[in-house]
Amino acid sequence: MVTTLLVLVIILAIGFDFINGFHDAANSIATIVSTKVLTPTMAVLWAALFNFAAYFVFTEHKVANTIAKTVFEQYITLEVILSGLLAAILWNLLTWYYGIPSSSSHTLIGGFAGAGMANALILGDGMMQAVNFGPIIKVVSFIVLAPLIGMAISIVITLIIINIAKNAKPAVAEVWFKRLQLASSAALSFTHGGNDAQKVMGIIYIAMVAAKVLNNGDIMPEWIPLSCYAAIAIGTMSGGWRIVKTMGTKITKVTPLEGVGAEAAGAITLGITEHFGIPVSTTHTLTGAIIGVGLVKRVSAVRWGVTISLLWAWVLTIPVSATLAGLVFALVHYIS
C-alpha cells in the first residue's frame, strides 16, 4: 500500500538527486568552462544531455544494489530513510553554499547509515549492528583509492598526449585539444550520470521494500531509474557555479590539454568502479585527476592548501552526515 510517508520519501529522494546534479555539475563542467571551450550555459546543457544518456546504457544497477545493502533490512524503515535523506540534503546544501566540492554519494551513504544506527540504538540493539560493513568498507576505502586512481590515470594520459603533440604547432594543437575536451567532458558527464543516479535509485527501491510495496529481490520498476536520471540531468542544468571555481581554477590552472587528461581519467575511473558496483565519489575522482595533471607540470603547480581543505571535507562528510541523520531520526521518532 502506498502511504503518504512513502510518497514524501520518494519526493525527497528525487529532490536529493536534483541537488546532487547541481552540486556535482562542477565535476563535469569545471575544466571545460575554465578552459573556455564552452560557455557556462552551453556546458551545463552538454553535461545534462550526457547525464541522462546514461539511462539507456547503465541498466544493471550494480551501484544501486550496493547502496541498498549498506543497512540491514530489519533496521530499515521509512522514518530511517526519511531522516537519512533530510541529513544528506542539509549537508549537500551547506557544502554547496560554501563552495566545498564534497561527495553527494558519501553524504547519502552516511545519512542512511546514521539513521539506521540510531534506529538500532532505540530498539535496544548495538547501533553498529545496523551497518553492513561489507559495502561500507568498500565505500570508505575508495575515499582514498578513487582520487589516487584518477590521479595515476590522468598523469599517464597527460604524458601520452604531451608526447604525441610535442611536434604539432601550438595553435593547431590548441584547436584539437578543445575539440577533444568536448568528447572527454561528455564521457565524464555520461559516467557521472551512470554512477550517481543509481545511488538514489537504491534508496527509493529499499523504501518501497520497507513500505511492502515491493519484495526484496523484485525487479526495479522502470519509473525509478527514469525519474532519477531525469532529476540529476535537470539539476546539472541548474549549474553549481560556487563549486566550479574551486574545481576549475583553485586546485591548479588547467589548459585544454590538461582538461582532456583530467576528464578522460575521471571517466575511465568512474566507468571501472560502476562496472564493479562501487559507489565512488565523482568529486573525489575528478579532484585526484586534476591534481594529477598539475603534478605533470611540477609539484608546486598544485595549490596544496586548497587540496588539504578539500581532504578535510572528504573525511568529515560521512561522520557528519551520519550524526545529523541520527539526530533527525531521534526527533522524527519521538514526534511520531
From the centroid of its chain, how far is CA 20? Answer: 7
Which residues does 334 contact at the CB level (< 8 Å), separation at least 6? Answer: none
Radius of gyration of the chain (CA): 20
Q: Which parts of the chain fold into alpha helices (H)?
A: 4-34, 40-53, 62-68, 78-97, 104-122, 133-165, 170-210, 223-237, 241-245, 256-275, 282-297, 304-335
Q: Is pLDDT above 80 for 40? A: no
Lowest mean pLDDT among 8-12, 142-146, 210-214, 309-313: 309-313
Residue 297 or 149, more confident:
149
Percentage of residues of the chain with pLDDT beyond 70: 91
Q: Coil, strand, or helix at residue 73? A: helix
What average pLDDT is seen over the chain? 86
Residues 152 and 178: their CA atoms lie apart, in Å, by 22
Cell of 12: 525527497
Q: Is pLDDT above 50 for 249? A: no
Q: Coil, strand, or helix at residue 131? A: strand
Residues 43 and 25: their CA atoms lie apart, in Å, by 9
- Report the candidate in 209, 283, 269 with the shortest Cα–Cα distance to residue 240: 283
> What is the average pLDDT across 12-34?
80
Cell of 165: 603533440
Residue type present at position 37: V
Whole-angstrom distance between the N-terminal and C-terminal Cα of the chain? 20
Q: Is pLDDT above 50 for 141? A: yes
Render pLDDT for 66-86 as a digit per residue (tens, 0 to 9): 888 899 999 999 999 999 999
Range of the domain at 106: 4-335
- Cβ atoms of 335 and 79 closer than 8 Å: no
The pLDDT score that the predictor gives to residue 37 is 81
Kindly report the number of other CB atoms within 10 A of residue 297's CB atom. 14
Half-sphere exposure of 18 (CA within 13 A, CB side): 10
Lowest mean pLDDT among 118-122, 258-262, 312-316, 327-331: 312-316
C-alpha separations of 240 from 94, 123, 225, 320 in Å: 13, 40, 23, 22
Cell of 234: 535537470
Domain count, the chain: 1
> What is the average pLDDT across 174-202?
89
Percentage of residues of the chain with pLDDT beyond 90: 44
| Range with top average pLDDT, 30-34, 145-149, 174-178, 241-245 | 145-149
